[in-house]
Chain A
């Protein structure tokens, strides 16, 4: 693989890497026929991000040397980011950036051609890897909204940089509401300030959602894409479904597109996601606390709570979509382990089929499903991660 980025696009590439670094610790670099894809996923697999740079983005783009297979690699995000760390420096001094991946050498070579004849060469070690691909389809999401990134940037401005999660929803009068989300704390004296931003429908280029829908997702991860979109002056689309189903954030222009898929909080803690308040005249009717009856299949397994369905392909196998798993439910808020373990036990017989699942299936959820199922006592490791430890 060999590609050459020149001029202002070097900074764009750098910004994309910065965005991805907000999500995961490993960068999956995969040259495809339709462009260079950079992907990452976070450790709890509750966030996935992908940028695809079209061949036209590059002055030169060669996905693979003729006769050779497409290579792909996995690099430490920290290492790749260090090449592009100073965006100011990239803008001022770097004229060209050449990225090459040679099957024979075990190094990904990133070479920056700078002013005054200075050339910086970075040899980054990488690992062979499986292709990282999240299974998601924006078209299957019933709700969506689209606005210039600038509008969304202004919308998140009132929220503190440290805020972890935010609830996005549609209020009365088709107002779009963003509200800071804080988990219920046992210690009631340490309450956090709640901030809410309310925008009119006119600020959005497209708003396809009914009043009362709302989702809660990680703001910090969203900011990664938002800052990129703002700097590139693009429109940002948010496709979402019921609480618990992942939300898909997309940006697109002629040379690149980006997708961030973030898990959302599921509906069990509905009163905190409720965007209504008796006092405010633009209160939203309380979100229905009823839960859509979940089919008793693998996709809605409680243990899966943080997981976004991922598929991995080994070697040159084509990507196969697992039919029963489209999108996994989002994270469960911390609750006492008792009811959870009961649910897990009940779900167990129907979710573990009689015949062993296909190898790929198991590798997807290895370590997440199999381990917790054997320990009915406590919450799954993923849930435990999230739990504050209170009963």
Chain B
């Protein structure tokens, strides 16, 4: 198994750092999948994660000007690594004013992903910061649990409002109850509802717009104003929203009634999918 990659472009480096910061906020530990064309950050829906799963994908050629990898074998030309997300974002943080960033798979005392940053410095000598991020190589037999999740046909698909607004609303609601209802319809309306014995709070978002439906036939005679709803743990939604520091290029929400909510975002050229299951 081999992996070496290099970023020299400042904008690419900043973008990669932002993605890594987002991943660090969404998942404490995640899987990094390295394939010839892509990098994926994966969180699979284990009980330990509370049933939440995440799939983040980026095209390597949009970031790295050098990228070489050799997977486990010729037929399985992929590498799956488990790491603590915060380590990667902390390592990249030091690369803010870097001339170049190199990442490679190494084995110094223990297997690691070594991030090496050459800093711009005022003196003639270069300064080099190296971070050895401990990793765990995930064996082939566990790869099947880490594949791209299948998205079931949603009952409603709707564009999200400004995430910052949504986050501040949800943050306040968290103080009232942990049980949140997300509901939306095909008329561009999305509601966030909190209900307790004493109080019921609903925030209404209107005129959000809906993407064109995939299968017209099933929904043709459906009442456009009918709300599809799902009950979720508010903290999971808040964790997802807290990870979005920058407003995405595209943000979509798919609701499968009483089953799950699926967020589909695009941050420039990086796609992020986040699944929150319904409360049982």
Residues of A in contact with B (beta carbons under 8 Å apart): 154, 157-158, 160, 188-189, 191-203, 277, 279-280
Contact = CB atoms under 8 A, between A and B. Distances in A.
Contacts of A192: 134
B110 A198 contact: no
A191 B134 contact: yes
Chain B interface size, as a band, is 20 to 34
B79 to A, nearest CB: 18
Contacts of B110: 188, 191
Interface stretch (B15-23, B120-128, B259-267): B120-128
A177 to B, nearest CB: 10
A200 B119 CA distance: 12
A238 to B, nearest CB: 18
Interface in B106-128: 106, 108, 110, 112, 121, 123-128
23 contacts: A188-B110, A191-B110, A191-B134, A193-B84, A193-B90, A193-B131, A193-B133, A194-B132, A195-B131, A195-B132, A196-B130, A196-B131, A196-B132, A197-B127, A197-B128, A197-B129, A198-B127, A200-B124, A200-B126, A200-B127, A202-B125, A203-B121, A277-B108
Chain B interface secondary structure, helix, strand, loop or mixed? Answer: strand
Given A157-B94, A198-B129, A193 B123 contact: no
A203 B123 CA distance: 7
Contacts of B125: 199-203
B91 interface: yes
B87 interface: yes
B108 A193 contact: no
Given A193-B87, A279-B106, A199 B127 contact: yes
A271 to B, nearest CB: 9
Nearest to A151: B123
A201 B121 CA distance: 13
A313 to B, nearest CB: 46
A160 B126 CA distance: 22
Interface of B: 84, 87, 90-91, 94, 106, 108, 110, 112, 121, 123-134, 136
Contacts of B106: 279
A280 B109 CA distance: 13
Nearest to A155: B127
Contact of A198 (B124, B130, B131, B133): B130
Contacts of A193: 84, 87, 90-91, 131-134
Contacts of B131: 158, 193-196
A362 B121 CA distance: 52
A279 B107 CA distance: 9
A124 B102 CA distance: 55
A21 B251 CA distance: 49
A166 B108 CA distance: 18
Nearest to A158: B94
B96 to A, nearest CB: 10
A158 B134 contact: no
Contacts of B90: 160, 193
Given A157-B94, A193-B87, A277-B108, A198 B128 contact: yes
B131 to A, nearest CB: 5
A201 B123 CA distance: 10
Nearest to A195: B131
A193 B132 CA distance: 6
Nearest to A188: B110
Nearest to A197: B129
B113 to A, nearest CB: 10
Given A191-B134, A194-B131, A203-B123, 19 more contacts: A154-B127, A157-B94, A189-B136, A193-B84, A193-B132, A193-B133, A194-B112, A195-B131, A195-B132, A196-B130, A196-B131, A196-B132, A198-B129, A200-B125, A200-B127, A202-B123, A203-B127, A277-B108, A279-B108
Contacts of A191: 110, 134
Closest 8 CB pairs of A and B: A200-B125, A191-B134, A194-B132, A158-B94, A193-B87, A198-B128, A196-B130, A202-B125
Contacts of B121: 203
